[in-house]
């Protein structure tokens, strides 16, 4: 695999307070170096014999490859982040910042503070879109260690000294201000509009229980906290519970094999939530049986372990 150089995205002569000399040096020397390293290490990886190469050599090469690839990608994003009027934040981006940070100003102050915190060291601050949560986040990373899995980078400021020393000496503050003045919001918004089309990671789907409604652990917790009357049934299989030592605080354990024996204890006036160990079959099946019997029953997605992972309270199970 041969990586190709990307043409300079911004027009250096249009920048406000950042000289073409700095951008040329940065593009040719630092971006170019990352791309050349990336191609060299990729070639080395492609020619080695994985069966006979020592583990530490492969580990080192893969680390070098990741750093060079990240440096390449981030530099391309950096040069595509400037070249506009940074003060004019378009409506779409302003609305997105207000939604995810409270306001444009709050986002700007956070982004700049993260950049300032890297001054004198080396690293990147990146504005990224996270499809899982459908929101924007600012990420700060030392060196090229940018690895927000699944985040889609939209805007990047390079905080290596090579990104400003020629023009600004050690005055990182002035460089950050100049960067902010030059943000190309049109380009950022184009990337944002592409990014929001990325589908979130696929959620767990249990087609066989598609007609049984679920409740999330957070929803159940909110119901409990609000004092909503709800009947919670821990329906973990008997063979499992013999070695379990905890149970959700508000739940009563009932044997899922013997629904007929305990169904009479439940009230049809109050909702029922059932769950099993991980939220797959048993909890769903039990909720399904109760629904067939006329109860307003749902299963708790993720089961016992999702409840615990979310910090839900448990008590000793005897």
Binding site for Fe ion (CB under 5 A): 30, 158, 160, 163
Structure tokens at 200: 């979130």
**Closer residue to Fe ion in complex, CB, 162/281:** 162
**Closer residue to Fe ion in complex, CB, 69/235:** 69
Helix H or strand E segment including 132: none
- Beta carbon of residue 38, minimum distance to Fe ion (angstroms, whole number): 14
Question: CA 155 to CA 95: how far, in whole Å?
Answer: 17
Structure tokens at 194: 């592409």
Question: CA 118 to CA 131: how far, in whole Å?
Answer: 27
- Beta carbon of residue 26, minimum distance to Fe ion (angstroms, whole number): 6
- Beta carbon of residue 31, minimum distance to Fe ion (angstroms, whole number): 7
DSSP assignment of 223-274: HHHTT---EEEE---HHHHTT--EEETT-EE--GGGHHHHGGGS-TTS-EEE
Residue 162 is classified by DSSP as: G
Strands 123-130 vs 135-142: parallel, antiparallel or unpaired: antiparallel
**Closer residue to Fe ion in complex, CB, 36/308:** 36
Phi, psi of 250 (to 5 degrees): -95, 10
Strands 214-215 vs 297-300: parallel, antiparallel or unpaired: parallel
- Beta carbon of residue 159, minimum distance to Fe ion (angstroms, whole number): 9
- Beta carbon of residue 182, minimum distance to Fe ion (angstroms, whole number): 15
Phi, psi of 126 (to 5 degrees): -125, 135
**Closer residue to Fe ion in complex, CB, 157/301:** 157
- Beta carbon of residue 165, minimum distance to Fe ion (angstroms, whole number): 11
**Closer residue to Fe ion in complex, CB, 107/160:** 160
Question: CA 220 to CA 308: how far, in whole Å?
Answer: 13
**Closer residue to Fe ion in complex, CB, 32/288:** 32
Residue 210 is classified by DSSP as: T
């Amino acid at each position: 695999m041969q990586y190709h150089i990307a043409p300079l995205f911004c027009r250096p002569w249009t920048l406000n307070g950042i000289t073409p000399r700095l951008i040329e040096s940065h593009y040719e020397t630092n971006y170019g170096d990352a791309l050349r390293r990336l191609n060299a290490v990729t070639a080395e990886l492609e020619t080695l014999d994985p069966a006979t190469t020592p583990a530490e050599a492969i580990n080192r090469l893969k680390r070098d490859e990741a750093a060079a690839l990240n440096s390449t990608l981030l530099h391309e994003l950096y040069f595509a982040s400037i070249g506009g009027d940074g003060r004019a934040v378009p409506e779409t981006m302003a609305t997105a910042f207000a939604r995810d940070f409270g306001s444009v100003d709050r986002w700007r102050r956070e982004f700049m503070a993260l950049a300032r915190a890297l001054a004198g060291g080396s690293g990147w601050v990146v504005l990224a879109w996270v499809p899982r949560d459908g929101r924007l986040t600012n990420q700060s990373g030392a060196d090229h260690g940018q690895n927000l899995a699944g985040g889609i980078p939209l805007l990047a400021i390079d905080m290596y000294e090579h990104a400003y020393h020629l023009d600004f000496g050690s005055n990182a503050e002035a460089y950050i201000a100049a960067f902010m003045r030059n943000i190309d919001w049109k380009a950022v918004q184009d990337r944002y509009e592409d990014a929001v089309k990325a589908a979130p990671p696929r959620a767990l789907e249990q087609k066989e229980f598609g007609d049984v409604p679920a409740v999330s652990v957070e929803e159940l917790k909110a119901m409990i906290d609000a004092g909503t009357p709800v009947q919670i049934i821990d329906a973990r299989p008997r063979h499992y519970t013999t070695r379990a030592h905890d149970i959700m605080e508000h739940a009563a354990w009932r044997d899922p094999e013997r629904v007929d024996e305990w169904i009479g204890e439940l009230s049809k006036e109050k909702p029922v939530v059932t769950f099993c160990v991980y939220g797959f079959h048993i909890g769903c099946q039990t909720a399904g049986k109760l629904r067939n019997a006329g109860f307003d029953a749902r299963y708790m997605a993720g089961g016992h372990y999702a409840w615990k992972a979310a910090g839900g309270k448990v008590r000793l199970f005897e």
